[in-house]
Amino acid sequence: MKEFKVTYFFDEEHYIRRFIFAESQEKAEELIQKERDGYISFTDSRGIYHELNTSGVRVTQISEYHRIDKKKKSE
């Protein structure tokens, strides 16, 4: 499984981001397309719960994410 960063932009200053796991970029895109114009909910890495109506989103970006282990980096 690969990790993907999904960013939903409402305008130039306001956005929300989440991370999803999928087998490929194509599968990640399929998931996002299925969620279009509907409500989704998720909890982010800080433990904050979000409910999002995707019909208010102007731009959606998907990119593969390569998480860096901060614990290893500081050693």
Q: Which pTM does this prediction carry?
A: 0.82
pLDDT digits (tens, 9 = 90+) for 58-74: 999 999 998 887 676 65
- Inter-CA distances, 47 with 16, 43, 50, 63, 66, Å: 14, 6, 10, 22, 21
pLDDT digits (tens, 9 = 90+) for 19-58: 999 999 999 999 999 999 999 999 988 999 999 999 999 9
- Domain of 6 in residue numbering reads as 2-74
